[in-house]
Structure 1
Amino acid sequence: MRENILFYGCPEVLNENCEGTVKSIISEKLRIVENITLDRVHRLGKPSNGKCRPIVAKFHYYQQRELVRTTAIAKTNDLKSTGLGIGIQQTKVVLQQRREKNTLFNREKSAGKQVKWAGAKLLSRENGSSQFKEVTH
């Protein structure tokens, strides 16, 4: 999973070319002109009415994956305005640990703190503070 990135909010069409969809997002939305090499690209899960399944893309080169990931972080607001999201693929264990800490996440966020995930760790910092600290309770 180290080389994978998930693309959320991409509308599904019958007999689509997922690799073409991902490459168009990378070039048009992220404005990356480098020729990206992808090993595999496909939708996750079974189709269901009314929901767009995320697309998982396995990058051949880790450096290209990092270029896309960091550019997506810098352009998060632009992506959100178009209904798209880009993020790394997490294991089921990490996702479960995050769900268990969701109340802590909401508490810290509503207290006006900056909150972010680092794997299964929940990190927060006061506005104006320079360092994130792990939230455990």
Structure 2
Amino acid sequence: MKKYEKDQMQKESTLKNEIQDLKCRSMRDNLLFHMVAEERDENCEQKVLKLIEDKLNIPNASNDIRIQRIGAYNAAKTRPIVDKFAFYPDRDRIRQAARQVKDGSIGVSEQFPREIMEKRRKFIPAMLKAREEGKEASSGSTNFSSIRVSIETVSRTVVRMC
């Protein structure tokens, strides 16, 4: 009976990992736009395309598949807008351009499954602490799948998330 339980737990773990991988893959072409003013019954597509053209200085960026707000409308909160791109290079070009905007008027980030975001939140304090100590610490790869600290640190462990 214990062997059966162990096998079932292993299968369940494998399935969870596969589902998480599929979620990551389905979201890899998405960007989230934060702090974009929201009105009831708005046209998100026009709003995002205007933002990309005006703030990021990228004209004719209309290779999007779908643009929509996430969640139910709440007048007290501004929901992020998710933008699914048809071509990864377009998504990456917009993400890189958004990094150059320093006025804090908008935020652009990659979209990840909730489970991944919860795991990553646990590692942010370690990254910030390493930076405070003068060590080079970053989110690792472009999709924030790990936290890396420079070779001079005590631990050279890279923790993979996605």
TM-score by length of 1: 0.79
**What is the rounded CA distance, in whole Å, between the counterparts of 1:134 and 1:64 in structure 2?**
33
Number of equivalenced pairs? 127
8 Å CA contact 2:55–2:101 kept in 1: the answer is no
Say whether the 8 Å CA contact 1:36–1:64 is kept in structure 2: no
Per-residue CA deviations over 1:57-116 (Å, capped at 9, x if unaligned) read 01112221111112112x1414x1x2x101111122321211221331232233234433
Identity of aligned residues (%): 29
1:67 aligns with 2:93: yes
**In the alignment, is the contact (CA less than 8 A) between 1:104 and 1:135 conserved in 2?**
no
Q: Which residue of 1 aligns with 2:20?
A: none
1:120 aligns with 2:142: no
Report the TM-score when normalising by structure 2: 0.68
Question: What does residue range 1-137 of structure 1 map to in structure 2 within 5 Å?
Answer: 1-73=27-99, 75-78=100-103, 80=104, 82=105, 84-117=106-139, 118=141, 119-125=144-150
- The structure-2 alpha-carbon separation of the partners of 1:11 and 1:94, relative to structure 1 and needing over 3 Å to count, comes to same
Greater share of strand: 1
Q: CA deviation at 1:33?
A: 1.5
Could you tell me which runs of 5 or more consecutive residues in structure 1 were left unpaired when the two chains were aligned: none
CA distance in 1, matches of 2:97, 2:146: 23
3-state SS in 2 of match to 1:42: strand
Cα displacement string for residues 10-43 of structure 1 (whole angstroms, at most 9, x for unaligned residues): 0110111100111011100000023422111111
Unaligned runs of 5+ in 2: 1-26
For 2:49 and 2:70, the matched residues in 1 are separated by: 17
| Displacement after TM superposition at 1:135 (Å) | 5.6
CA RMSD, aligned part only? 2.3
Higher fraction of helix: 2
